[in-house]
Amino acid sequence: MMGYRDLLTLWRKRIIRFEPDIDPRQQIGLSSIDLRLGYLFTKQRDAPGYTIDPFDEEFDPNPHIETIDLGQQPRPAGQGANFILKPDEFVLSRTLETVHIPPNLAAQVQGTTTGARSGFSIHATAPHIHPGFSGSITLEIKNLGQWHLRLNPGKRICQLILFQIKTPVSKREVKDMSSYQNQLLPYVKRQAGVAKTT
């Protein structure tokens, strides 16, 4: 696992890169890097009794979801964008930062203790990020508590934990085995013809 000095060195040498860039004084911690919430939120449309196979590679989610872009919505002057997450509600969002991870590192995205104490879950079951990943990170968000939660884009909301792997993967392996590189929306149809990795 990478600690504070490791993370600072990786960032300074641009071995790990972020767009927009992070502020190391605020975002690099003892053993993780804080990432910020983006502006897109995708919700499942109400469809009582509707059943899907979540592992069907041909499933197209687009007719069954609604994506809200808070960056495009008008709001009163001086009022920041926010998304209200209701109790038991599930949405997908993305990190504000696009993350570039080299082939000799892997990562996990985790929630924060502060958010968790309010019932806020940042990922449902898929925290792992493979070597060579490039893109914003999809966040599988759920409100496990009883309060409505106000989510503000641009706020630090999760932490990226980096691990060194024994043998770096090749660029060809990254290309052949990655499913969700450089995606533009939180919920997209799987890329065709790739290995079943997350």
Closest CA relative to residue 68, chosen from 58, 55, 51, 83: 83
Catalytic residues: 140
3-class SS letters over the chain:
CCCHHHHHHHHHCCCCEEECCCCHHHHECCCCEEEEEEEEEEEECCCCCCCCCCCCCCCCCHHHEEEEECCCCCCCCCCCCCEEECCCCEEEEEEEEEEECCCCEEEEEECCHHHHCCCEECCCCCCEECCCCEEEEEEEEEECCCCCEEECCCCEEEEEEEEECCCCCCHHHHHHHCCCCCCCCCCCCCCCCCCCCC
